[in-house]
């Protein structure tokens, strides 16, 4: 997958991000690792939330917008069952270097459980996290918005 990233033009990123989950996996693999100019360009790609499953019935998954953070793009996918958030995963997040991996290995599970706990405990907001969690929160919000929650 890494071999792809060097040679594919930006257009592929735009196309991939407009598609579904497989597209997002591709986006993740194409994600520029250290080039800030490409990262800025990808902010402008027409990314939109995508969802699968019929609204209002059974289980649906909804993927949020890709949100650019200083450390790289963040994107989450939520599962909604009968109008309630039942699961949440990060489909893309900064993992370019050991420090990113260390931070996100710790932060993402925490944020996932926070989002689930917040819903069950009627918590309006959370104090304590920055950067990745903001991107995560924004992507989560766009997923919830497009799910109509």
Partner 1 sequence: MGTVFSFDVRGGEPRAVREALQDAVAGLHRADALFSTYREDSEVSRLARGELPVARCAPEVAEVLELAAEAERVSEGWFSTRYRGSLDPTGIVKGWSAERAARLLAAVDGVCGVSVNGGGDVQLLGAPEPQRPWRVGVADPLRPGGLAAVISTAGVDELSVATSGTAERGAHIVDPRTGRPAVTDLVAVTVVGPRLTWVDCWATAAFAMGSRAGLAWLESLPDVEGLLITAGDEVRCTGGLAARLG
Residues binding partner 1 (CB under 8 A): 70, 99, 103, 106-107, 109-110, 112-114, 117-118, 121-135, 137-138, 141
Nearer to partner 1, 3 or 121 (CB): 121
Nearer to partner 1, 16 or 76 (CB): 76
- The structure tokens listed for 37 are 């100019």
Closest distance of CB 4 from partner 1, Å: 30
Q: Would you give the DSSP letter of residue 120?
A: H
Nearer to partner 1, 57 or 120 (CB): 120
Closest distance of CB 65 from partner 1, Å: 13
Question: SS3 of 122, please?
Answer: coil
Positive or negative: CA dihedral 36, 29, 85, 105: negative
Nearer to partner 1, 43 or 106 (CB): 106
Residue 117 · residue 53 · CB < 8 Å: no
Closest distance of CB 11 from partner 1, Å: 28
Residue 113 · residue 16 · CB < 8 Å: no
Residue 64 · residue 49 · CB < 8 Å: yes
Closest distance of CB 51 from partner 1, Å: 22
Closest distance of CB 128 from partner 1, Å: 3
Cα→Cα distances 142→29, 46, 63, 69, 76, Å: 22, 14, 8, 15, 9
Nearer to partner 1, 16 or 136 (CB): 136
């Amino acid at each position: 997958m890494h071999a792809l990233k060097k040679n594919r033009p930006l257009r592929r990123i735009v196309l991939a991000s407009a598609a579904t989950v497989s597209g997002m996996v591709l986006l993740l693999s194409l994600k520029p690792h250290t080039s800030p100019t490409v990262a800025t360009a990808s902010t402008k790609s027409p990314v939109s939330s995508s969802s699968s499953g019929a609204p209002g019935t059974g289980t649906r998954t909804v993927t949020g917008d890709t949100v650019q953070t200083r450390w790289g793009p963040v994107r989450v996918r939520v599962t909604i069952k009968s109008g309630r958030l039942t699961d949440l995963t990060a489909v893309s997040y900064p993992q370019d270097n050991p420090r990113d991996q260390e931070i996100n290995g710790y932060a993402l599970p925490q944020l996932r459980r926070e989002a689930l706990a917040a819903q069950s405990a009627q918590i309006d907001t959370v104090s304590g996290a920055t950067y990745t969690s903001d991107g995560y929160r924004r992507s989560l919000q766009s997923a919830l918005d497009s799910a109509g929650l």
